[in-house]
């Protein structure tokens, strides 16, 4: 897989730098970028060559939400290495969500968790490859934590932006009747399907595409989960709402605490109300009820 690396330079005042870095990362993510790293003068990020949407990136920069900010970037081929292999070789340590769920690297037996004293714990093996979702990120863990508080047994669950499939797999292991996941990244779709097989989950369907796939999914869902980013959530909340059943729940994450008001405003327009929220390291998870 060929990657490009971009070095973004942001000219702004010192007190706005962090906000600019965060916003730029959001915008770049929509143009296909991943693996963001803050530098002293901006950010550095990687993008798969065939996923790079230059037009979207340039449009975002041209219309950057913080005034009087100059953003330039330099982009070149990333060192040609097998990212996939490097990621897999590193492995990741088991990640516990409370004492009910543990996510472990299925490729690395030496990193398997010792759960002998917790016979009831739900174990989820993930081969992450390049997809997002090992439980290492606050947003993933918060959604799982919220899911654990809900009646999931026999419910229908939708996992938007499924990544490795981790949220859908957890729902399935909690006894969901069936799960539908989707992702705009083909690699993630393959990875989520693979992880479903790995975990013996046979009631999770994984679709390729954005929220428009929901127009072709029949029936409604009891729980809709989406860990994407503020702008996509704002765009897609109406569709999410349209596939929720009466009394259904929407769990959102992938945004910062300062984004809550605008998301709640949208929720209100759609007849959704806040049930609870969780914040971890400024990342936020909102649980909304119909």
Q: Is 45 in the site for ligand SAM (CB under 6 A)?
A: no
Q: Using DSSP, state whether 196 is helix, strand or coil.
A: helix
- Between residues 11 and 186, which has the closer beta carbon with respect to ligand SAM? 186
C-alpha to C-alpha distances, 121 to 73, 78, 168, nearest whole angstrom: 46, 41, 17
Tell me the C-alpha distance between 218 and 211, whole Å: 14
**Rounded-to-5 percentages of helix, strand, coil across the chain:** 35, 35, 30
Does the protein bind ligand SAM through residue 133 (CB under 6 A)?
yes
Q: Are strands 122-126 and 156-160 parallel, antiparallel or unpaired?
A: unpaired
Residue with tokens 């929509």: 30
Contact stretch for ligand SAM (CB under 6 A) within 76-84, 155-163, 197-205, 257-265: 155-163
And the tokens for 248?
Answer: 């259904």
With beta carbons less than 8 A apart as the criterion, state whether 223 and 248 touch. yes
What x/- string results for residues 11 through 40 when contact with ligand SAM is judged by CB under 6 A?
------------------------------
Q: How far apart, in whole angstroms, are the C-alpha atoms of residue 234 and residue 229?
A: 9
Closest distance to ligand SAM from the beta carbon of 41 (Å): 26
| Number of residues forming the site for ligand SAM (CB under 6 A) | 23
Instruction: Collapse the DSSP code of 229 into the 3-class scheme (helix H, G, I; strand E, B; otherwise coil) and give the result.
Output: coil
Q: What is the DSSP letter of 221?
A: E
User: Per-residue DSSP letters for 48-64?
Assistant: EGGG--HHHHHHHHHT-
Q: Rule CB under 6 A: is residue 184 a binding residue for ligand SAM?
A: yes
d(CA 76, CA 92): 29
Q: Closer to ligand SAM by CB, 178 or 185: give it.
A: 185
Q: How far is the CB of 157 from ligand SAM (least distance, A)?
A: 12
Q: Return the axis-axis angle of helices 138-147 and 166-173, rounded to nearest 10°.
A: 20
Q: Judge whether 183 is annotated as a binding position.
A: yes
- Considering only 127, 178, 183, 259, the residue that binds ligand SAM (CB under 6 A) is 183
Q: Is 140 annotated as a binding residue?
A: yes
Structure letter (DSSP) for residue 110: G
| Residue 181 annotated as binding site | no
Range list of β-strands (E), 106-203: 122-126, 156-160, 178-183
Site for ligand SAM in 227-266 (CB under 6 A): 227-228, 232, 254
In this chain, which stretch among 71-79, 89-97, 108-116, 161-169 interacts with ligand SAM, using CB under 6 A?
161-169
In angstroms, give the least distance from the CB of 28 to ligand SAM.
Answer: 12
Q: Which is nearer to ligand SAM, 42 or 181 (CB)?
A: 181
> Quick one: which of 16, 210, 239, 280 contacts ligand SAM (CB under 6 A)?
210
- Which one of 167, 169, 201, 224 is in contact with ligand SAM (CB under 6 A)? 167
Residues that bind ligand SAM (CB under 6 A): 131-133, 139-140, 143, 160-163, 166-167, 182-185, 188, 210-211, 227-228, 232, 254
Binding residues for S-adenosyl-L-methionine: 140, 161, 183, 227
């Amino acid at each position: 897989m060929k990657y490009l690396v971009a070095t973004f330079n942001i000219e702004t005042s010192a007190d706005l730098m962090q906000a600019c870095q965060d916003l730029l990362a959001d915008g770049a993510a929509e143009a296909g970028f991943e693996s963001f790293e803050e530098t002293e003068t901006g950010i550095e990020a990687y993008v798969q060559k065939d996923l790079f949407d230059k037009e979207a990136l340039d449009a975002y920069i041209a219309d950057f939400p913080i005034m009087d900010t100059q953003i330039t970037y330099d982009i070149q081929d990333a060192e040609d290495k097998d990212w996939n292999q490097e990621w897999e070789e590193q492995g990741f340590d088991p990640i516990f969500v409370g004492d009910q769920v543990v996510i472990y690297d299925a490729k690395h037996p030496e990193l398997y968790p010792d759960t002998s004293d917790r016979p009831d714990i739900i174990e989820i093996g993930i081969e992450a490859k390049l997809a997002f979702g090992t439980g290492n990120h606050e947003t993933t863990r918060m959604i799982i934590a919220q899911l654990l508080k809900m009646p999931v047994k026999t419910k229908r669950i939708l996992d938007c932006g499924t990544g490795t499939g981790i949220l859908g797999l957890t729902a399935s292991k909690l006894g969901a009747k069936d799960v539908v996941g989707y992702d705009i990244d083909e690699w993630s779709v393959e990875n989520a399907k693979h992880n479903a097989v790995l975990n013996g989950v046979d009631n999770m369907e994984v679709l390729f595409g954005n929220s428009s796939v929901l127009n072709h999914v029949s029936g409604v869902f009891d729980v809709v989960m989406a860990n994407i980013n503020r702008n996509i959530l704002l765009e897609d909340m109406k569709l999410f709402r349209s596939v929720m059943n009466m009394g259904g729940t929407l769990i959102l994450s992938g945004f910062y605490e300062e984004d809550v008001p605008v998301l709640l405003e949208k929720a209100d327009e759609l007849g959704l109300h806040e049930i609870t929220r969780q914040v971890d390291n400024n990342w936020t998870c909102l649980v909304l009820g119909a």
